[in-house]
Every structure is written in structure tokens, then in C-alpha cells.
Structure 1
Amino acid sequence: MSTVKEAVDVEVPLHTAYNQWTQFEDFPNFMEGVEEVRQLDDRHNHWTTSIGGVRREFDTEIVDQLPDDRITWRTTDGDTRQRGTVRFESLDDAHTRVELTMDVEPSGLVEKGADALGMIDRRVKGDLRRFKEFIERRGTESGAWRGRVRPGDPGGGLI
């Protein structure tokens, strides 16, 4: 597995940045290669991506979520294996640091080559930059989910 860690400071309050990140179906607006995210329930999402001509579909499960602090997920099926956490830190009343740490297991020759060339790191950095532009341009979140998911809750647990 490769670990990617990137951060971006956004010019919106903590609750605005966090609330927008919970709107998974908006991810195609700022994540390169993400065609669709369908939220199945409060904990599960179905993703469709197309990266470098390789189309993938996979499901993720949120295993830990604390409003205004963090969201941790893992893949549950499909060809893609990853897990990660996005953390939110208030810098002041109008600025928030968004930090994404992700473990990715590239599958196939194309993905392994992309990882070796640092393309996964650059993609995540670009996605965070585009999130910054997206939320700052909006100035407000498009919605919010402020529920709590704990590790070990039914259907949860870390891998």
C-alpha cells in the first residue's frame, strides 16, 4: 500500500468545510476522474471512476465520523482497495485546514506505474485544491450530514 498525505487551507469556517465534505454526491465537481458517487445510506457510497482510461466501480463504508473533526472510510468491494481519513482543523473563525491521509493499493500495471511516478499524490493534491476553489466560490455548503459513526458500530470497523 502507498500512503498519500496532503492538506489545504480553505477560506471558510470549520463547519462549512466539514458539512460540504459530507456531500459525497458532489465529489465529481472537484475530484478528477470521479464520474459518480451515489450515497446508499448514512455509511455507504458507490463510486464510479475513470482514471487513465481504466473504469472502476467500488463501494466504501464510513467507519468513523465525528462532526467538525474527521471522516474515516474503507473500500468494501470492487477492484479498488483503499482506506483513509479526512480531518478538519479550525485555524480561526474563517479558515479551516483540510488534511487527507489515504492508503491506496494500486492494482494493475497502469495504477502501479502511476503510483511509482507520484501521480496519485498529485491527483490528491489537485483534488484538494479544487475542493478549496469549489467551497470558496460557493461560500456555503450545499448540504450537511452531522451524524456520528463510531468504530465498531454495526456494519463498521476498521480494516
Structure 2
Amino acid sequence: MSASLVETVDVNAPVSVSWSLWSDVTRWPKFLSHVRRVDRLDGQRFAWQLEIPGADKNFVAELTEVVPEDRIAWHTVDGVDHAGVVTFHRLTDTTSRVTLQIEYDPKGFIEHLGALTNLDSALANYDLGEFQKLAETAAAS
């Protein structure tokens, strides 16, 4: 069984600010609540450590597409099975829309439960809210 989620947030910050926060994966733990750390292995691959209620996960993800101020796509090459893309849309000179889409294969009861109860969606929504605060603070300074 495969699951997917799509979450969108509008940010009072230009695309350039939203992009700069997302394009530096080492900053993701600041706004992705379940990410403990991300380490760059090489130009395309990153080692992730997740803290998920009931289970910690480690995996390696590889960037599959990076288009500045437009999109970042990735898929896992080791560990949990998922792929995602985050896209950036200019609304005005000072506002942007960020859309996160993830496709994954929930393995194990905890992840099945999350997919069934929309916990994943709630977590993604919370994380995009944290990202929004970080981007708007950066844009204001």
C-alpha cells in the first residue's frame, strides 16, 4: 500500500527567501519537527535521522531535481521508501506559496496508523507552519 500527502502554505516572504531556507537541507531540522539531523554525504545524497513517535528512522535520500526558486525533488536510496517534491510559487514580490508532496510506503503499524489517521498530514501541516514562521522572520529582517 502506498500513501501520499500534499500540503501547501502561503508565506509572507518572497520566493527567494522560501527557496534559500529549503535549499539548505541542513536547516530542515529547524522547521521539520520529526527531523533530528541531516548530513550531506556528497553533492546529491544526504543521511537523515528522524524521530517519529514509536520509532526512530535513518535513511539516505538523493536529490533527483533541483531547479532554483522552483522545485526540489528527492527519493530515498536506503532505509524507508519515499519520494517527495517541494515547489515554490511566486504570488507577489513579497509572498510565495510552498507545496510539499510526498509519496511513501508505510511499513509497520506506527506508519500505517499515521497514514490511516492523517497524522502524517497534520505533521506536515505543522511543519509547514513552522517553516512559514521562519521564512517570514527572515523576510522581515
TM over 0.5: yes
TM-score relative to the length of structure 1: 0.84
Residue identity matched to 2:17:
T
Counterpart in the other structure of 1:68: 69
Q: Which residue of 2 aligns with 1:12?
A: 13
Equivalences, count: 140
Partner of 1:112: 112
| 2:24 corresponding residue in structure 1 | 23
- AA in 2 matched with 1:129: G
1:110 CA displacement: 1.0
Partner of 2:4: 3
Question: Where in structure 1 are there 5+ consecutive unaligned residues?
Answer: 142-159
- Check whether the contact 2:19–2:68 (CA below 8 A) recurs between aligned residues: yes
Distance 2:41 2:115 in 1: 29
- For residues 53-75 of structure 1, give each alpha carbon's deviation from its aligned partner in whole angstroms, at most 9, with x where no partner exists: 30110000011111111011000
Amino acid at match of 1:40: L
Alignment gaps of 5+ in structure 2: none
Higher helix content, 1 or 2: 2
Is the contact made by 1:16 and 1:140 (CA closer than 8 Å) also made in structure 2?
A: no
CA distance in 2, matches of 1:42, 1:7: 27
Q: Contact conserved, 1:4 with 1:103, CA < 8 A, in 2?
A: yes
Structure 1 position 32, deviation (Å): 1.3
Structure-2 separation of matches of 1:67 and 1:97: 15
Give the CA RMSD over aligned residues: 1.4
- CA drift of 1:104 comes to 1.4
For the residue of structure 1 that corresponds to 2:33, the secondary structure is coil
Which amino acid in structure 2 is aligned with residue 34 of structure 1? V
What's the % identity of the aligned pairs? 29
What aligned pairs does 1:34-49 form with structure 2 within 5 A after superposition? Answer: 34-49=35-50
The structural deviation recorded for 1:42 is 2.4
Q: Give, as a single letter, the amino acid of the residue that structure 1 aligns with 2:21.
A: Q
